[in-house]
């Protein structure tokens, strides 16, 4: 039972000698259509990667899986051959003759098929991160169509730096709005209130969407009018630091490379799926039919980063859509690369937030729908057991991460889970006092 936007309060302990032992892992993108060309996350050319390399392998743009190899400076061709060999050895690669390139999301597909939603509002929320923002916004603009819109919500900024950056660099290509009250849910709700698109897609300022991200989301919505929420694949954009590497180990393998759907119109394959909505996806890569998200109330402002609850707003939105009778679909073709926190201190804080956010989410779910309490209590012991088993390192990158470090992170997340309900209730009380001018309510 995992939380979403994962975060703890003290630094994660580690042996001092590990600082000098970790060597960066280069992340690259390889399409078997062009096996001699490696690209960096976000579509840029890869400049002769050396050392350990983690590659996303695609065929005709479709992600197939991850493989590793070791590169040597000046011999990119040998590295490409090693990655291709690893892909055919470790992954299920369809025959080139049977995998049609036409299946790749099309940049003109929306214009050719009149049925279904076509316009998208991409909403990016940020706060005082103007240094990393351009890479995110450049990638978003490369993924949208002319009829789409991009909304940047500046959440309780402390300076005008973000506004100045957006207005000078992007002009009217990005709609800048300010949300003065802190909290990611408030910022997302602000963007939602302004969205003109039939679909609203959300990503974070530390993410780099793939070129075909928006098209893959749209095509998934159009495949079934019962789908009201689509999430996608999230992979690391970089593994430059030990903390980024450890997070991949702690979180385990990605959600997978196969499309999946969840609905309450038929029995769920796993009863935990109803509440463990972190399996569906995460806030850095999610999209909704705009009307449906508005109908379920948007995001609970007492959850999310920027509040004592620290997270859970995305999980609650998934649950609200599911219990309203709609379908939630995970589509790996909708790919976003994520830039993880770089220091062990930030990682420790993040993992603690996973637990706090998940506990807050469960409490918020009961607050919104009290009838869910019995089901949550019945499944909680099984869910905790499954959560413990799920934190098993990814074998592709196992070396170099001690079991003690991972155990320390698990303890932090468990402690966070225990205080999550109290953090949510504390946030609700704070927001009520604000609305009533400090008087008890």
Reported as a single tens digit per residue, the pLDDT across 73-115 is 878 899 999 999 999 999 999 876 554 544 455 544 454 444 6
Inside any domain, residue 106 = no
Q: Which pLDDT tens digit goes with each residue over 196-216?
A: 999 999 999 999 999 999 999
Shared domain check, 384 and 309: yes
Residues shown for the chain: 441
Residue 39 lies in a domain: yes
**Could you tell me the residue range of the domain that residue 422 belongs to?**
1-23+111-441
Along the 441 residues of the chain, how does pLDDT read in single tens digits? 444 443 333 333 333 334 447 889 999 999 999 888 889 898 766 667 888 999 999 999 999 999 999 988 878 899 999 999 999 999 999 876 554 544 455 544 454 444 677 899 999 999 999 999 999 999 999 999 999 999 999 999 999 999 999 999 999 999 999 999 999 999 999 999 999 999 999 999 999 999 999 999 999 999 999 999 999 999 999 999 999 999 988 886 668 999 999 999 988 888 888 888 999 999 999 999 999 999 999 999 999 999 999 999 999 999 999 999 999 999 999 999 999 999 999 999 999 999 999 999 999 999 999 999 999 888 877 676 666 666 555 554 555 556 788 889 999 999 999 999 999 999 999 999 877 665 544
- Do 60 and 165 fall into the same domain? no
242 phi and psi, to 5 degrees? -60, -40
Tally of helices (H runs) and strands (E runs) in the chain: 13, 13
Is the same domain home to 407 and 304? yes
Is residue 103 one of the residues assigned to a domain?
no
Q: Could you tell me if 351 and 409 are in contact, meaning their C-beta atoms sit under 8 angstroms apart?
A: yes
Number of domains, the chain: 2
Domain identity same for 89 and 120: no
Q: Residue 2 falls within a domain, yes or no?
A: yes
Sheet containing strand 51-59, edge to edge, reads: 38-39, 26-31, 51-59, 62-71
What CATH number does the domain containing 5 carry?
3.90.550.10
**Of 63, 96, 129, which marks where a domain is finished?**
96
Distance CA 232, CA 204 (A): 13
Q: Which of 64, 96, 128 is the last residue of a domain?
A: 96
**Residue where a domain stops, chosen among 68, 96, 124:** 96
268 CB neighbour count, 10 Å cutoff: 12
Return the residue matching tokens 């999550």: 420
């Amino acid at each position: 039972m995992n939380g979403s936007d994962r975060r703890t309060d003290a630094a994660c302990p580690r042996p001092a000698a590990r600082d000098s032992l970790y060597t960066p892992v280069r992340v690259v993108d390889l399409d078997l259509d062009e096996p001699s060309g490696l690209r960096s996350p976000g579509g840029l050319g890869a400049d002769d990667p050396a050392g350990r390399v983690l590659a996303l392998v695609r065929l005709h743009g479709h992600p197939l899986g991850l493989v590793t190899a070791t590169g040597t400076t000046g011999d990119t061709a040998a590295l490409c051959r090693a990655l291709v060999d690893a892909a055919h050895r470790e992954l299920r690669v369809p025959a080139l003759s049977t995998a049609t390139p036409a299946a790749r999301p099309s940049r003109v597909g929306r214009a050719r098929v009149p049925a279904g939603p076509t316009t998208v509002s991409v909403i990016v929320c940020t706060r005082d991160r103007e240094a990393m923002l351009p890479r995110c916004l450049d990638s978003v603009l490369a993924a949208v169509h002319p009829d789409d819109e991009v909304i940047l919500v500046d959440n309780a900024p402390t300076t005008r730096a973000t506004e100045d950056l957006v207005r000078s660099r992007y002009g009217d290509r990005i709609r800048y709005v300010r949300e003065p009250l802190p909290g990611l849910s408030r910022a997302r709700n602000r963007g939602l209130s302004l969205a003109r698109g039939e679909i609203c897609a959300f990503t974070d300022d530390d993410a780099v969407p793939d070129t075909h991200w928006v098209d893959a989301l749209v095509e998934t919505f159009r495949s079934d009018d019962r789908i009201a929420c689509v999430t996608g694949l999230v992979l690391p954009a970089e593994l430059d630091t030990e903390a980024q590497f450890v997070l991949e180990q702690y979180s385990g393998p990605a959600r997978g490379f196969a499309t999946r759907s969840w609905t309450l119109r038929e029995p769920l394959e796993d009863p935990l799926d109803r509440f463990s909505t972190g399996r569906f996806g995460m806030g850095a890569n999610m999209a909704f039919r705009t009307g449906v998200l508005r109908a379920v109330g948007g995001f609970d402002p007492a959850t999310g980063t920027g509040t004592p609850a620290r997270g859970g707003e995305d999980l609650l939105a998934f649950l609200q859509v599911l219990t309203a009778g709609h379908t939630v679909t995970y589509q790996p073709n909708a790919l976003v690369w994520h830039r993880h926190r770089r220091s062990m201190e930030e990682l420790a804080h993040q993992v603690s937030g996973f637990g706090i956010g998940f506990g807050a989410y469960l409490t918020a779910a009961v607050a919104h729908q009290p009838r869910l309490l019995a089901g949550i209590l019945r499944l909680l012991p099984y869910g905790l057991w499954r959560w413990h088993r799920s934190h098993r390192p990814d074998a592709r990158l196992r070396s170099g991460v001690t079991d003690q470090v991972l155990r320390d992170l698990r303890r932090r997340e468990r402690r966070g889970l225990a205080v999550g309900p109290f953090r949510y209730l504390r946030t609700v009380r704070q927001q009520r006092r604000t609305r009533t001018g400090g008087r008890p309510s």
